[in-house]
């Protein structure tokens, strides 16, 4: 029984450690606009340890995977400082949507978000399941403790 509890606790600790570390992220407000055109946005970033730039990528057709050297508007860079930041910017959103990218010059930190046209619909899965990993680890640890307590009561009876 002790071996089972130890294995369960080690497993719970591994799950908690396997949760992704806090990475850089950006969010835009609003995330969706009613139609193509020029809009004001508040873009916020977190987890950046280096100063960098926010840039719009209208040529990516609203798809972060389609970002290429020639898809971003390099004339419209907005600098930000290290740490958590917030910028007020105005960008033209094409009919396909707009990808906003934040990153440092060394390209060691980056994050992207998409401004969509119309209803944003369901949010995409980003793979950031840290809370789920932590809750699962906690539940496993509590379950292991319950098994130990139940086993002790059976042995004493």
32 or 148, greater pLDDT: 32
Pairing of strands 98-103, 110-117: antiparallel
The Cα–Cα gap between 13 and 54 comes to: 37
**CB-count exposure of residue 75 (10 Å: 0-12, 13-18, 19+):** exposed
Q: Where are the domains of the chain?
A: 22-121
Q: Which CATH number fits domain 22-121: 2.40.50.100, 3.30.470.20, 2.60.40.230, 3.40.50.300?
A: 2.60.40.230
The 3-state DSSP class for residue 135 equals: helix
Instruction: Order the strands of the 110-117 sheet from edge to edge.
Output: 32-33, 110-117, 98-103, 52-57, 78-80
Query: pLDDT, tens digit, for every residue of 53-95?
Result: 999 999 888 888 888 878 888 888 999 999 999 999 999 999 9
Residue range 128-157, pLDDT digits in tens: 555 555 555 555 555 566 666 667 777 776
- Enter the pTM of the model: 0.62
Q: First vs last Cα of the chain: how many Å apart?
A: 17
Residue 40 has pLDDT above 70, yes or no: yes
Report which of residues 155 and 52 the model is more confident about.
52
Q: Is 118's pLDDT higher than 70?
A: yes
- Tell me the average pLDDT across 23-38: 92
Cα–Cα distance, 68 to 59 (Å, whole number):
8
């Amino acid at each position: 029984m002790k071996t089972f509890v130890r294995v369960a606790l080690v497993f719970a600790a591994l799950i908690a450690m396997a949760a992704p570390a806090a990475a850089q992220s950006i969010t835009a407000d609003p995330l969706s606009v009613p139609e193509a055109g020029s809009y004001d946005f508040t873009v916020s970033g977190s987890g950046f340890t280096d100063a960098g730039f926010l840039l719009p990528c209208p040529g990516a057709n609203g798809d972060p995977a389609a970002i290429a050297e020639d898809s971003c508007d390099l004339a419209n860079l907005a600098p930000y400082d290290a740490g958590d930041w917030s910028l007020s910017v105005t960008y033209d959103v094409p009919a396909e949507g707009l990808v906003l990218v934040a990153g440092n010059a060394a390209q060691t930190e980056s994050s992207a978000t998409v401004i969509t046209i119309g209803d944003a619909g369901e949010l995409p899965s980003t793979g950031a399941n840290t809370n789920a990993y932590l809750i699962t680890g906690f539940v496993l640890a509590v379950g292991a403790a319950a098994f130990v307590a139940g086993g002790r009561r059976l042995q004493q009876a």
